[in-house]
Structures are given as C-alpha cells and as structure tokens.
Amino acid sequence: PLGLFANSNKHNPCFNPRPDSTVIFQVVTRQCTMDFEEYEPTKDFVDAINRAIDSGTPYKALDDVFAEYGYWWNRQIQLGGKLQRATKLTMDPNPAADNKIISDCDNDLTFDTIYRKWSDLIQPSQSDHLVSGNGDVVRIEAIPKWQQLIQIDKNQWTIIDPSDFIPIYELLDKPLKMRLASLYPTMRNPVSGNYIPDIRILFTGKSIIDPWSKDICRVKFPTPFNNTSYYVYGALYEKDKRRDDVKISLYSTNTYEMAFEIDWTEYPASTTDLYIQWIIFGNPVEIGYFSPKHRDVIIERGKVKELGVETIKLYRHELQEHSLLLMTDTQTANDRVEK
C-alpha cells in the first residue's frame, strides 16, 4: 500500500545521482544477513507512525516520518572499507553503460597492481588520492597500508554495500500495517477486474447560516487540498428539520475552501437555527486530506438511470442525514442521494 513512498527515486537506495565517473577501491571483510522477522521497530518509530495515521493529513505526515527514520531496511550488508573519488577516466565512458568502476581488493593486492589499475583508469593529472567514507584522504602510495589496517582493525570497518532492501514499514506488526493499508482505499472494477482508487468521506461538517447577512456561506478546509477532484453533498436544515423549499447550490470550489449559495426568494429570512449539513467525498490519496472520523464508512455506488447520477449508500448510523443534496458542477440541486 505504501508503494508511492517506495517507488520514489529520491527515496530509492538503488537511485544514486553521482558524477559521470567514480573510481572505487573496496575491501570486503565480512558479509552479514539479517532476518527482519527477528527485529522489532523502536517504540518511537511505531508511535510516529500511529500519530501520522491519526492525523487529517496522513500522507504528508507519513512522508515526514519515513524521511526521518528511512524508507528502506536492508537485510544484507557488507563490512569493510571503501575508498572512492569522482574523477575523469582515461577512456571515454560509454554513456549507455554504468560508469561506476569497482576494483575489489584482495589479500594479494600490491602497490604495483594498485598503481597499474590507477594509471589504467585515471588521468594522473586529475587525482592522486581517494577519500574514505569518514572523510580521510588516502594517497595512492598509502592504499596498501590502508588495506592492511582495514583487515586487522574492526574499528575501521564500515558498511560498504547494503543490499536486499525491503520497505521499512514491513518491520511493523500486522495490525499496524493494516491501518496503513486502510489509508489507500481501492475497489475492484467489475468489468476489468482491476483495482482502482475508491471514493471515501474526506470529512463532514455543519455551517451555521445567518440569513440577515449574506447569501453565500463559505467553508474553509482544515488544510489546503492537493486538487479540486472532490464532491460536495449538503442540505439546509432548520433545527432538526430539513428545508427542501430553500434552494442551495454550490457557488464555488477551490483547494482551500468551498462556498454555498442560498436563495431566500421563497423563504422568510427571519428564521434562526439554520445550518447546512455537508459531506465532502473524494479519493483521499489524490486530495491529500482524510479525516479519521469516517474512515470505516463503506460506500456502495451504483448508477440510477432516471437521475443519471451515482447513488451513495452510507452504512454508518453516526451520520444523521436521512438524505443528502448532491451538488457538483455537472449535477443539479434536485438530485438526491439516499441513505
């Protein structure tokens, strides 16, 4: 479900935007393989995930959490030492090939072999040294000594080649992974059988109406949406009674607010206790906002030929609306969506 994080190049450990040519000498002393099922995430990481899920903007919050704790966990690492430096090569690198040239050191490595590799690969005028992972500068003539130090001193070891990556959320327990998956609702297309993004309740609210003031009722969103691909359902109420004799319509929509227009022509404007009960639907991943309040509401959708609109059945008693007025840019204020 979190493929949008794992697939991003900027978070992909295999994506390394490096200079065109990099020369690397490395000594591998140990290789470790770890079974992630034997490891548990830290309490701080789990708490951060739960807070992100419970927020109204879970996708941005999760992105921040993974940016702090990491997107990947590697099950295999190689320990040892590595020297590298970006430089110009004597040969013209093939642009279609990987220009990262690795020379693995072994116990029989001598200064002559190092120098031969060096002179074969690097223009002497460009560089006479390499740099270790901790920033130490190692000149060409000191590489054999550096290699011996790596082999006898474990304190000099570092991770030189992590591999076998899995998304870090795989370390979480099953209930928490299911909570993560619930943030990415999908439904099966009855024709193609493929899963497509599902429509959910983004959030609900009530807006008090002052009939003596304005004919426009504006609703500001808790946080700006990513786009305007959402649907608004609402109805005017006087106390607990729905007033269908007053026409309301969707006046405007954008990413930070929506506005209702109220027609008081055939309705006395002296009545108090008026409010618009509204619900906003959409795909939460696209919109970026997903209130935790109604995430477990299942929406059943189907076409009604005589109206030509989608019907939505809500399976949750906390929503008190008996019917909701459907208002979009392409549908009229008389279309109904029954509970």
Instruction: Summarize pLDDT for 246-274 with one digit per residue, the tens.
Output: 788 888 889 999 988 888 776 655 566 78
Question: Is 180's pLDDT higher than 80?
Answer: yes
Lowest-pLDDT range of 68-72, 105-109, 207-211, 236-240: 105-109
pLDDT at 120: 64
What's the whole-number mean pLDDT along residues 283-308?
73
Residues 6+ apart with CB under 8 A from 101: 21, 22, 23, 24, 89, 121
Pair 167, 11: CB distance under 8 Å: no
The model's pTM is 0.61
Enter the tokens of residue 65.
């959490």
Enter the tokens of residue 12.
């992909």
Distance CA 66, CA 72 (A): 9
Q: Which of 140-149, 188-197, 198-207, 258-267 has the highest mean pLDDT?
A: 198-207
Distance CA 311, CA 300 (A): 8
pLDDT category of residue 2 using cuts at 50, 70 and 90: very low
Lowest-pLDDT range of 71-80, 96-105, 199-208, 273-282: 96-105
Residues 6+ apart with CB under 8 A from 174: none
pLDDT at 271: 63
